Amino acid sequence: MDLIYSNDCLFLSLCLLYCFSIFIFIFKLTLYYYIFSLVTRKKQRSFNTYPRHCLL
């Protein structure tokens, strides 16, 4: 009886861990995408604000 219970607990904890890792993965992806978009937007803005003779 104890063995079955411990197996159920293990299975449940593994499921929770799996779901949690997927959640963290998605969260990291969205975070990286957000940072990447911010950085590219900042680069474009700084590129556009340069005077023309600095680019040559």
Tell me the one-letter amino acid at 54: C
- pLDDT for res 18: 93
- What Cα–Cα distance (Å) separates residue 15 from each residue in 5, 10, 46, 54? 15, 9, 47, 57
Q: Which residue has the higher pLDDT, 4 or 33?
A: 33
On the question of pLDDT at 10 being above 70, the answer is yes
Residues 6+ positions from 52 with CB-CB distance below 8 Å = none
Helices (H), ranges, 1-56:
2-49, 52-55
In this prediction the pTM is 0.51
Q: Which residue has the higher pLDDT, 13 or 8?
A: 13
Express each pLDDT in 14-50 by its tens digit.
989 999 999 999 999 999 999 998 888 877 666 665 5
